Structure 1
Amino acid sequence: MTAHGAADPATERPHGAQHTAAEFAAVYGAAPTGTWAAPGRVNLIGEHTDYNDGFVMPLALPHTTLAAASARTDGVLRLHSGGADGGIVELRIDALRPEPDPQAGWAAYPAGVVWAMREAGLPVGGADLHYDSTVPTGAGLSSSAALEVVTALALNGLYALGQEPQQLARLAQRAENAFVGVPCGIMDQTAAACCTAGHALFLDTRALTRRQIPFDLAGEGLRLLVVDTRVKHELGDGAYAERRAGCERGARALGVRALRDVPYAHLPEALAGLADDPVTQALVRHIVTENHRVEEVVALLDAGRTRAIGPLLTTGHASLRDDFKISCRELDLAVDTANAAGALGARMTGGGFGGSAIVLVEEADAPAVGAAVTEAFAAAGHAAPRIFEAVPSAGAHRVE
């Protein structure tokens, strides 16, 4: 489904296990051993809380990255993407080093997974891999985590490593942190590896305990729309690391291991203790209140009150905009317009400074809300957003 925006990326070009396997054969000259899939994700609530040991609630999208793969015995890793220029990237697995190379591009993510698995003592050898993806890049929908997790899952299958989904998520996060050099939390990789269809995933990122929360939007006459603004502002470069460092600074100032340990009931006292540092104070306020919002959403969903989560989404956006300062004019326009057009609630999702917003809306109102957002973007001189439905889908799995 689309809603008065550009085409859904899942339908823009051929995509499927047979198509990906055929492309593998065309590139490498032989059929693959198998084909695996890992999804993108949207985060319903719980933004920037994962690296603060907090709570998150992502759901997997139907948009996936597929990997067709075969093992090699010569220690060579060959990588090819149907969506990237440059042909085959060929590397030796024993030469992989965690030294971020800005020229490495997309291949750094799967190469990092191979490095992380070998560093963990897993007997991973060479491989040929071909990737095909419908997860939009630069949209805040975790295309990098999908790429990492599908690589880990394919290698797990090729080499019979016996790793569980959460273990694969950890290895994928390690690849992004240490090899690629992005200090992300564990949420994106866990969502790609562990989500189940028809559910949102309530994840405690410290304990790594998970609970699948039923999220049958269609059954309740609701839709969750993704508004991909198609923008990524340069201001976002390095800002993620700055926010993380600020949160760690706040935790040290408050004498806690992580901001997750600041009780919501004690927030006023915590903020008073940071009165001389308003920047850190604002970061702390967002994380503590966002963790509380996740718990409130869980309680409402458990009670069958899905529509009541809408205002919490909107409040979460205001916190990201005003305290964390990671929104932008396009995201604010999408959220404000959707709410004015009758949405139950809306917020930005992902790292910020562009990317996507999510909109909870009655099924009957979805076309009008989508049209209002598209028209508002046109009136403001922005490129047309891509608007499509987020259907809670399955995590990583073998498809062929």
Structure 2
Amino acid sequence: MDLAHRPTADPLLRLLAHGFATAYHHPPGAVWHAPYAFHLTASAVPPGPQLPGTTPRTDWVAAANWSVGVAVAARADGMLRCGSLNHPADGAELPLTGPAAPAPGWAARPYAALRALAAAGYGRGGADLHLNAALPAVVGLPVAESLECAVALAVAGVHAERGARPLPRARLAELLGAAVPGDDALRRAVLFARSGHLLAADGSTYRSLPAQDGGPDPCLLLLTARIAADGHEGAPTGAGDTALANGIALAVREALRAGARSAWWPGKRPGRSVLLLAPRDRRAAIRTAAADAFARRGLPVPRFLRIALAAAADRADRHPHPPTTGKE
């Protein structure tokens, strides 16, 4: 059954498949989903077994239970026709070989990734693509690496089904690392993550992240500061940004005081979002303490999302992908 009409599929992926068919007047050949990925702070990971004379690992990444989606169909003319549910009026038709064409901002990195694949002999025939990111950029989870891996897997996959050579994920990681600036550790999480597990940043080993309160799984909360009522949004250079940064710092202190075990940025640089490791029985108190900290600063109450450790990118139209229920 076409994913757009499969009642048990993720609603966003059904919408993506329907949007693809509406835009290109034929159904997609495949639909992929790829998880958002994030870094973990060393304080969030309990020490594990280690060999004598070695130091504990502190560089871990993981995949989140929120994903980007890609609907794709193969072409044979070397062109990439791409659109996005997040940017409905900003599609493009771009060559994968020869001189590059100007791409819309949202498509620049996926386009660079697909040109790198084409140069290596994968997906040179081109594709129709339709993308969707489940979370807005302001939430703060890194998304660029997820989109790059998703479009590369989708395009290479539909061409492999038509007889082209398949693209191993290890080879994809090498190609993207060499051709597209980005976070290689996050790409490894997108490509190789296991549900319920952390992955070493160099991809060498996995380990579980046990719940510290005896629950069935660890509880991660993503706290995201909202834009102020005046709509201010930008790099922390103005008074409004300073107030926001101070509000986040105060909220983190109060969350730790209320029982959060660790707090850290999900990416490599500070932003408007913070991940909290929250014991299950303290989750409500942590949310209340953080929200009160923002209110005392006269800032809008932050958003909270529950984050679970998910598996790597996969075909969504072959395997069930239940709707995400992580909103707090």
Same fold (TM over 0.5): yes
Mapping of 1:28-47 within 5 angstroms?
28-45=24-41
State the SS of the aligned residue for 1:217.
coil
How many Å apart are 1:96 and its aligned residue?
4.8
Aligned equivalent of 2:19:
23
**1:372 alignment partner in structure 2:** 289
Work out the CA distance in 1 between the residues paired with 2:131 and 2:256.
38
2:31, 2:315 within 8 Å by CA — same for their partners in 1? yes
Q: Which amino acid aligns with 1:169?
A: A
**Residue 68 in 1 paired to residue 65 in 2?**
no
Residues 1:336 and 2:253 are matched in the alignment: yes
Q: Give the 3-state SS of the residue equivalent to 1:80 in structure 2.
A: strand
Equivalence map 1:83-102=2 (5 Å) = 83-97=86-100
In structure 2, the partner of 1:143 is 143
Which residue pairs with 2:7 in the alignment? none
Give 1:236-255 correspondences, 5 Å limit.
Answer: none
Change (3 A) 1:218 1:345: closer
Letter in 1 for 2:23: V
Contact kept in structure 2, 1:59 and 1:191, CA below 8 Å: yes
Q: CA deviation at 1:203?
A: 2.6
Aligned position for 2:166: 162
Corresponding position: 1:224 with 2:228: no
Distance 2:269 2:201 in 1: 21
Partners of 2:138 and 2:129 in 1: CA distance = 22
Q: What displacement does 1:167 show?
A: 2.5
Q: 1:399 pairs with 298, 316, 325, which one?
A: 316
Contact preservation (8 Å) 2:91, 2:104: no
> Runs in 1 of length 4+ with deviation above 6 angstroms?
none
Deviation of 1:384 after TM superposition, in Å, equals: 2.7
Q: Following the alignment from structure 2 to structure 1, what is the Cα–Cα distance between the partners of residues 297 and 262? A: 22
Alpha carbons 1:230, 1:383 under 8 Å: kept: yes
- CA gap 1:339/1:352 in 2 versus in 1, 3 angstroms: same
Task: State how far apart, in whole Å, the 2-side matches of 1:398 and 1:22 are.
Answer: 16
Report how far residue 46 of structure 1 moved. 6.3
1:399 Cα offset (Å): 1.0
For the Cα contact (< 8 Å) 2:78–2:124, is it kept in 1? no
Residue 155 of structure 1 and its aligned partner are, at CA, apart by: 1.3
Specify whether residues 331 and 89 from structure 1 end up closer, same or farther in structure 2 by C-alpha distance, changes over 3 A only.
Answer: same
Pick closer, same or farther for the CA change 1:117–1:376 going to 2, 3 Å. same
Q: For structure 1, which runs of at least 5 residues remain unmatched after alignment?
A: 1-13, 48-53, 178-183, 237-326
**SS of aligned partner of 1:383:** coil
Displacement of 1:57 after TM fit? Answer: 0.8
The TM-score normalised by the length of structure 1 is: 0.63
CA distance in 2, matches of 1:169, 1:135: 24
Q: 1:219/1:333 Cα in 2 relative to 1: closer, same or farther (>3 Å)?
A: closer
Which runs of 5 or more structure 2 residues have no equivalent in the other structure?
1-9, 44-56, 228-232, 238-243, 318-328
Shift of 1:378: 2.1
| Corresponding residue pairs, total | 278
Q: Is the contact between residue 199 and residue 216 of structure 1 (CA under 8 Å) also seen in structure 2?
A: no
User: Residues 149 and 219 from structure 1, CA distance in 2 versus in 1: closer, same or farther, beyond 3 angstroms?
Assistant: farther
The DSSP-based 3-state class of the residue aligned with 1:234 is coil
1:387 corresponding residue in structure 2 = 304
CA contact under 8 A between 1:67 and 1:132: conserved in structure 2? yes
Q: Is the 8 A contact 2:39 2:268 kept in 1?
A: no
Q: Deviations over 1:36-88 (max 9, x none)?
A: 011102211269xxxxxx96211111110110100111222111110114242
Which whole-Å CA distance do the structure 2 matches of 1:146 and 1:115 have between them? 17
Query: Relative contact order (C-alpha < 8 Å, sep 6+): which is higher?
Result: 1
Taking structure 1 as reference, are residues 333 and 173 closer, same or farther at Cα in structure 2, changes over 3 Å only?
farther
User: Partners of 1:382 and 1:347 in 2: how far apart?
Assistant: 21
Conserved? CA contact 2:259–2:278, under 8 Å: yes
* Residues 1:116 and 2:116 are matched in the alignment: yes
Q: What corresponds to 1:256 in structure 2?
A: none
Deviation (angstroms), 1:187: 1.2
Counterparts in 2 of 1:330 and 1:108: CA distance versus 1, 3 Å = farther
Shift of 1:219: 8.4
Supply the distance in 2 between the matched residues of 1:151 and 1:362 (Cα, whole angstroms).
36
TM-score (norm 2): 0.76
* 1:233–1:55 CA distance, 2 compared to 1 (3 A): farther
How big is the alpha-carbon RMSD for the aligned residues of Structure 1 and Structure 2? Answer: 2.7
- Which is richer in helix? 1
